[in-house]
Amino acid sequence: MNSHDRVAALLRREIPDQMGLFEHFWPETLSEEYWVRQGYPKGEKPEHFFDYDIAMCGGWFNTEPFLKKHEEIIEETDEWKVVKDGRGASLKYWKKKSGTPEHVAFEVTTPEKWKSYKEALLADNPDRITREHMTDTRKNLEAERARGKFVVYSNLFIFELMRATLGDQTFLPALLEEPDWIRDFCQTYLDFYRKHYEIVFREAGRPDGMFIYEDFGFKKSLFCSPQTMAELVMPYEKELVGYFHDHGLPVILHSCGDITKAVPLIIAAGFDCLQPMEAKAGVNLIELAKTFGDKIAYMGNINVMALATNDPQKVQAEILPKLAAMKQMRIPYFFHSDHSIPPNIDFKTYQYALELFRNKGRY
């Protein structure tokens, strides 16, 4: 059984020969300052070097209402810069390290201000999907398919787009105070996605699945109640998942933080796999599997805090019980960290983690 067939089976909630394997990394981890210095081959793609089952091949398009040809820098020092993007959001980025940008200012703060941004999204703009990007995407897709990999396209969706366009201090209160605005925002982007993915599938080819990023939770809970999610967010998630399913594409959901209370909604929306299930935010893979069984596949929950000790015994204690539980319950599972591999995890530690997986990750 090759990677494609294995992943396809897991996403159908079937049990193949072994568990799946995939991973994300912080950019610094694979740099000369960290893993390259420890023996990782410079410039090598981790999906090739570690032989992951899933390959990300692009499929993005520009979702900003107003496309910018040049970066608009508002403020800058040697350490950071504030950039205004095509959503009217001013964000502060570190220059020498990665991380979530600081929210500085947002232009779209009322339904009235949203109108001109909505009009820009509804207007046809061929620059959103460039021929060059579609050509590169098709080449990537064909190359990874030739390697027997399961190919996915990826993108953000409405919850992340609300955060990026309105900012948390506007969109979270608006969920309660301006529900009609939220519905309009979500419907606008749902229509926008369906329209533009028709172009992507036609120009670049259809992948094997989709990977959608939506951070519903923070360290201790969800950003809004399950009831609010059910009323204002999940109907549009379900519509998007249904659209991809109509194209024969299973959908993996990335959602950070403690999303435990949202799992029934995620399953009801039709998502096929949940990732990364942050252990450091309190998400418990084994308890989820006991509660929801194979109603959804699971990816992740390997706590990077344990791996970052670089202590083999603690790495074993984190990984082996979870692999054993998934095997015993015969639950569809992909080995993955509970977010991304940071640079304080040694290269040899990650290699050891993969060794444990390859020895114990068979059903």
Burial of 73 per CB tally in 10 Å (0-12, 13-18, 19+) = exposed
- 233 within 8 A of 268, measured Cβ to Cβ: no
Cβ distance 205 to 59 under 8 Å?
no
pLDDT attached to residue 191: 98
Q: State the Cα–Cα distance between residues 98 and 33, nearest whole angstrom.
A: 14
Burial 18-52 (b: 16+ CB within 10 A, else e): bbbbbbbbbebbbeeebbbeeebeeeeebbeeeeb
DSSP 295: G
Closest CA to 253 of 267, 232, 236: 267
Long-range contacts of 97-105 (CB under 8 A, 24+ apart): 97/28, 98/26, 98/27, 98/28, 103/167, 103/168, 103/169, 104/74
Does residue 239 fall inside a structural domain? yes
Does some domain include residue 93?
no
Structure tokens at 90: 């001013």
In angstroms, the CA 207 to CA 75 distance is: 40
pLDDT of residue 68: 87
The pLDDT tens digits of the residues spanning 278-334 come to 999 999 999 999 999 999 999 999 999 999 999 999 999 999 999 999 999 999 999
Pairwise CA distance, residues 202 & 200, whole Å = 5
- Which residue in this structure is represented by tokens 């379900």? 238
Instruction: Report, as ranges of residue numbers, the positions in the chain whose pLDDT lies below 70.
Output: none
Task: State both tokens at 172.
Answer: 């979270």
Tokens at 65, concatenated: 């209402």
C-alpha–C-alpha distance, residues 23 and 8, integer Å: 17
Distance, CA of 208 to CA of 190 (rounded, Å): 21
In a domain, 118, yes or no: no
Residue with tokens 């095509």: 86
Q: Which is nearest to 123 in space by CA: 170, 62, 183, 180? A: 62
Percent of the chain with pLDDT over 70: 100
**CB–CB of 253/210 below 8 Å?**
no
| pLDDT digit string, tens, across residues 92-139 | 999 988 888 999 999 999 999 999 999 999 999 999 999 999 999 999
User: Tokens 């568990």 — which residue?
Assistant: 19
Query: In this structure, what DSSP letter does residue 202 have?
Result: H
Report long-range pairs for 87-95 (Cβ below 8 Å, ≥24 apart).
87/117, 87/164, 87/165, 88/117, 88/165, 89/164, 89/165, 89/167
Q: What is the pLDDT of residue 97?
A: 86
d(CA 174, CA 182): 7
Torsion, CA 171, CA 175, CA 180, CA 184, rounded to 10: 50
What's the burial of 322, exposed, middle or buried (CB within 10 Å: 0-12/13-18/19+)? buried
pTM across the whole model: 0.97
Contact 193, 240 (CB under 8 A): yes
Helix (H, G, I), strand (E, B) or coil at 27: helix
In total, how many domains does the chain have?
A: 1
pLDDT the model gives residue 100: 87
83 in a structural domain? no
- Residue 75 covered by a domain: no
Torsion of CA 235, 238, 240, 245, to 10 degrees: -160
DSSP state of 43: T
In a domain, 173, yes or no: yes
Q: Is residue 72 part of a domain?
A: no
Is residue 92 within 8 Å of 80, Cβ to Cβ?
yes
- Domain range for 309 is 3-61+129-360
Q: Evaluate whether 172 touches 215 at the Cβ level (below 8 Å).
A: no
Q: What is the CATH number of the domain that holds 219?
A: 3.20.20.210
